[in-house]
Amino acid sequence: MEKTYQQYSKEELLALQQELKARYAEVQALGLKLNMARGKPCGEQLDLSMQMMDVLSSQMDLDCEDGTDCRNYGVLDGIQEAKALLGDMIEVPPENIIIYGNSSLNVMYDTIARSMTHGVMGSTPWCKLPEVKFLCPVPGYDRHFAITEYFGIEMIPVPMNENGPDMDMVERLVSEDPAIKGIWCVPKYSNPNGITYSDETVHRFARLKPAAEDFRIYWDNAYSVHHLYEDDQDILLEILDECAKAGNPDMVYKFTSTSKISFPGSGIAAIAASENNLKDIRKQLSIQTIGHDKVNQLRHVRFFKNLEGITNHMKKHAEILRPKFEMVEQSLEKELGGLGIGTWTHPKGGYFISFDSMPGCAKRIVDACRQAGVILTAAGATYPYGKDPNDANIRIAPSFPKMEELKKACEVFVLCVKLASVEKLLET
């Protein structure tokens, strides 16, 4: 059985360091330019939706089933067909959905901004309060944290485990502190861990007893249909239904979009919530817009038709993504398995693999990769304010590079992990 790096003598570590440095110099000389920084679909995935460009034409009727002319003004909260399509996708009745434009991140930003300036369902606007706090499961989604940081909201890290956020901590903090107004959640194939919240975790979320009347769960269900395996999929309980059963129907905002289903930047997004919440949201929306892009909504409906259409489409995405994820995991296991210098997740869906190095090594690894021509998400990005207290977590995004580029990037990554780990051990 191979020794861990921690079991090496100083002399063995020094010899290994020289060997790794020589290999690293060879890699640097290649002049690579590879980018694994964000979970972007690759061109092959984008090609899957190209026929969407043909479902509408100048000769076609652009009326909805109810007679609405999608070319004109109106329909503030989205056409009925789009509500039904996305509602089926996230297991919510169409009457509980508002369809927005192309970005769920935009919807989340608007939701925070509205709470800051006008409050939540008649409560005091957050901007008039002495302090506003948010719970942030970590590691988590950097763009969530960027929104709350932008508005000056204090972020409190909550550790993630295999079932989701530490619910003992969530329950205690939410019940004790009325300044805590929300929690960010990516509940299915979470970013970056790939974890799906357990049934018990969802039940505990639904039964929360927040001290703040305007506390909301920001449930970003971005990867609801993003499975890698047809015969091995995670199942997530539907949160709106669970909150209603628990007597907390207004406690959750649920977000979704087709950004990594059709075209990122040209999809459709939605928020699902209770009727009380939707009534509050529509007040602002009626001032902000006369209605979002109904032609694009109609395009999506006519392309996908129904949930079965989305499901079949996502199987094609999985065929492209699955070999990439498996190749990364196999590379990590082959090169780092048993060495005691890293652990990583094995997601069944979503867009990321979460890697944890030895404490104090993540920044070194990311920087070494950059100097060798491989760009990764910044170390610390998966924590509020970009501060990972252990300097250990690195988000790996396998989707965008071509397979041969991804293979080369993995070779560079494992080399940098080894080199940074040896250097760290030699310092101790």
Last residue of a domain, which of 250, 278, 305?
A: 305
**Residues of the chain below pLDDT 50:** none
Residue 87 belongs to a domain: yes
- Tell me what pLDDT residue 428 has: 82
For residue 28, give the nearest of 417, 391, 370 by alpha carbon: 370
- Domain with 66, as residue range(s), is 62-305
294 plus 316 within the same structural domain: no
Sign of the dihedral defined by the CA atoms of residues 277, 226, 262, 351, in that order: positive
Residue 100 belongs to a domain: yes
164 plus 296 within the same structural domain: yes
> How far is 282 from 274, CA to CA, in rounded Å?
12
- Tell me what pLDDT residue 1 has: 56
299 plus 315 within the same structural domain: no
Distance of CA 41 to the CA centre of its chain: 13
Last residue of a domain, which of 282, 305, 328?
A: 305
Q: What is the CATH number of the domain that holds 11?
A: 3.90.1150.10
315 plus 299 within the same structural domain: no
Q: What is the CATH number of the domain that holds 125?
A: 3.40.640.10
Last residue of a domain, which of 270, 305, 340?
A: 305
> How far is 328 from 352, CA to CA, in rounded Å?
11
Listing DSSP states for 293-355 in one string gives -HHHHHHHHHHH-SHHHHHHHHHHHHHHHHHHHHHHHHHHHHHHTTSSSEEE---SBSS-EEE
269-272 and 252-257 beta bridge pairing:
antiparallel
286 plus 364 within the same structural domain: no
Q: What is the DSSP secondary structure assignment for residue 155, as one 8-state letter?
A: E
323 plus 272 within the same structural domain: no
316 plus 405 within the same structural domain: yes
- Tell me what pLDDT residue 38 has: 86
142 plus 233 within the same structural domain: yes
Phi, psi of 203 (to 5 degrees): -60, -40
Residue 239 belongs to a domain: yes
Residue 246 belongs to a domain: yes
41 plus 167 within the same structural domain: no
159 plus 262 within the same structural domain: yes
Residue 52 belongs to a domain: no
pLDDT 10s digits, 5-21? 999 999 999 999 999 99
Please name the amino acid found at residue 233.
Answer: Q
Please say whether the beta carbons of 182 and 208 come within 8 A.
Answer: no
319 plus 299 within the same structural domain: no
Structure token digits, residue 31? 């002049």
Give me the residues paired with residue 97 across strands. Answer: 272
Residue 56 belongs to a domain: no
The answer for 168, left when phi > 0, alpha when psi is -120 to 50, beta otherwise, is alpha
Residue 258 belongs to a domain: yes
Phi, psi of 364 (to 5 degrees): -60, -45
19 plus 110 within the same structural domain: no
- Tell me what pLDDT residue 301 has: 98
Please say whether the beta carbons of 340 and 8 come within 8 A.
Answer: no
Total number of domains in the chain? 2
Please say whether the beta carbons of 205 and 174 come within 8 A.
Answer: no
Asked whether the whole model's pTM tops 0.85, one would answer: yes
Residue 55 belongs to a domain: no
CA separation (Å) from 172 to 158, 209, 378, 396?
A: 11, 9, 31, 32
